[in-house]
Amino acid sequence: MNPCQPIPRAGEPCAIVIFGASGDLTKRKLIPSLYNLASYHLLPKNFSIIGVARSEMNDQEFQDRLGKDLTQLGTQPVDPNIWDGFRDRMLYCPGNFDDPKTYERLGQRLAESAKKLGTNGNVLFYLSVQPSFFATIAKMLAQYGLTKEEGNWRRVIIEKPFGHDLASALELNRNLTGALQEHQIYRIDHYLGKETAQNLLVFRLGNAVFEPIWNRRYIDHFQLTVAESIGVEGRGAFYESAGAFRDVMQNHMFMLLALIAMEPPNSLQGEVVRNEKVKLLQAVRRTSAEEALASTVRGQYGPGQVGGESVSGYRQEKNVNPESTVETYAAVKLMIDNWRWAGVPFYLRSGKRLAKRSTKIVVRFKVPPLGLFGENENEMIAPNRLIFNIQPDEGITFQVRAKVPGPTLATNAVHLDFDYSQFGERAPTTGYEKLLYDCMVGDSTLFHRSDMVEAAWEAAQPILDAWGNNPPKDFPNYAAGSWGPSAADELLERDVHKWWYPPE
């Protein structure tokens, strides 16, 4: 079954301008996603793709190059019936991002696209560039009148990092909103394009059984895990300025947290959903330095074995300081000070070079009030867990207690499983299709608004400050291929909890 089948209409006619068109994201994700949308009949009939990059190329060379990449990197075989029409709509505009001539040329190409390809004056700009160019490009686009909406729309997609800390995030937002209106800015988060991330709200609010128990009375705690088995993959220089907390936790994980814990919105209108997410992020407790240090754990991997292979430690990676104190692992306990979640801990952990790739949200319910089926009166019987498997094996599992067959009364945990095979076969996707499509139809629900970004940084800043003022002394403190530093286990043990691990 086509993954986008339930969506009824194709996107609106538009030109899609990709800044950074010769980069990795364009060939790995953007062109394959747009091609997939075309194959699902969700790309408008009248579209164009205009690549902007420094390399000198003509349209033909641009088309040939990306056609070749699509054959290698696309998620489905290239069908000449789709590709021929697609290729003819790809244009190229060479130029530097800070050169006025680039924007003059782009203006001409956009006019040509509107006239010859019927794109109607709607333009989606995708800034697949270094974040240091976001503000410059937004300013130049505005200066050359390319973001002016006159009976049509002009939208700009940017991808994280949205700042390095609260101050730089505020500055970036100021620069962006100086050039664009907030409704034109689409801050993309590829995590929210993942199928099970989108299922979080559907599952919570589309099933009457869960919402009544989705609160502090029935839920003991949450665990959010984004574990990666890969290392920094040649991105040492970038990672040295980021670390696990900034790279994954403050953005992807905080936004998953918002989805799992926000109040039910009264409609699915983009602004309504985003209002609820902001409220939740604003309710994350801002900690003192002391509390921040006590409720967090940092780690950095040393050499070890991953998947049976020996791998080097973080400090031995290319472009990494041999004495680096950058964390490749972070675990935090967050509290949310609102009526629904008072007293319920949210444990988040993320790391590189861990034992397994596994992104999960585990909802741990409280135990029944009376241990009827335990071995003795004091024994706590196993609690129910609802597990959202975001990747790699997508699905949702409900762990319940059942009687083991036989003459004696013994119980064990069993799983009620949902996986997507129940919807039939799924075509593989890049994860960007839904997000690009949403931008084309003006649905901002899955994109971050400036106040969401700021609220997430506000919650993160006390932790970053406490860490900055107290450099770690024990790095490296976990072996590549393990589940992270032992201090992360102790963090939960103090609350008489344990991290939930995916079955071997």
Task: Kindly tell me the burial class for residue 35, based on how many C-beta atoms sit within 10 Å of its own C-beta (0-12, 13-18, 19 or more).
Answer: buried
**Residue found under tokens 């190059």:** 65
* CB closer to ligand BG6 out of 226 and 455: 226
Q: Kindly give the pairing relationship between strand 395-404 and strand 410-419.
A: antiparallel
* CB closer to ligand BG6 out of 245 and 483: 245
CA-CA distance, 124 to 440, in Å (whole number)? Answer: 7
* CB closer to ligand BG6 out of 70 and 390: 390
Identity of the residue numbered 154 = R
The site for ligand BG6, by CB under 6 A, has a size of 5
Residue 252 annotated as catalytic: yes
Q: How far is the CB of 247 from ligand BG6 (least distance, A)?
A: 5
- The answer to whether residue 327 forms part of the interface with ligand BG6 (CB under 6 A) is no
Q: How far is the CB of 235 from ligand BG6 (least distance, A)?
A: 7
The packing angle between helices 31-39 and 80-87, to 10°, is 120
- The answer to whether residue 276 forms part of the interface with ligand BG6 (CB under 6 A) is no
Near ligand BG6 in 418-457, by CB under 6 A:
none
b/e 272-299 (16+ beta carbons within 10 angstroms → b): ebbbbbbebbbbbeebeeebbbebbbbb
Q: How far is the CB of 352 from ligand BG6 (least distance, A)?
A: 7
CB–CB of 256/191 below 8 Å?
Answer: yes
Q: How far is the CB of 251 from ligand BG6 (least distance, A)?
A: 7
Near ligand BG6 in 188-247, by CB under 6 A:
190, 228, 247
β-pair partners for 188:
159
Near ligand BG6 in 79-118, by CB under 6 A:
none
Q: Which residue is closest to ligand BG6 by CB? A: 247
CA-CA distance, 220 to 205, in Å (whole number)? Answer: 19
* CB closer to ligand BG6 out of 106 and 390: 390
Active-site hit among 252, 415, 448, 497: 252
* CB closer to ligand BG6 out of 92 and 457: 457
Closest CA to 43 of 11, 16, 91: 11
Angle at 225 between CA 224 and CA 230, to 5 degrees: 160
* CB closer to ligand BG6 out of 296 and 358: 358
The Cα-based distances of 172 to 11, 87, 163, 180 in angstroms read: 29, 35, 7, 12
- The answer to whether residue 248 forms part of the interface with ligand BG6 (CB under 6 A) is yes
Q: How far is the CB of 159 from ligand BG6 (least distance, A)?
A: 8
Q: How far is the CB of 44 from ligand BG6 (least distance, A)?
A: 27
- Give me the sign of the Cα torsion angle 136, 138, 139, 145: positive
β-pair partners for 399:
385, 415
Positions in the binding site for ligand BG6 (CB under 6 A): 190, 228, 247-248, 359
Residues annotated catalytic, as ranges:
252
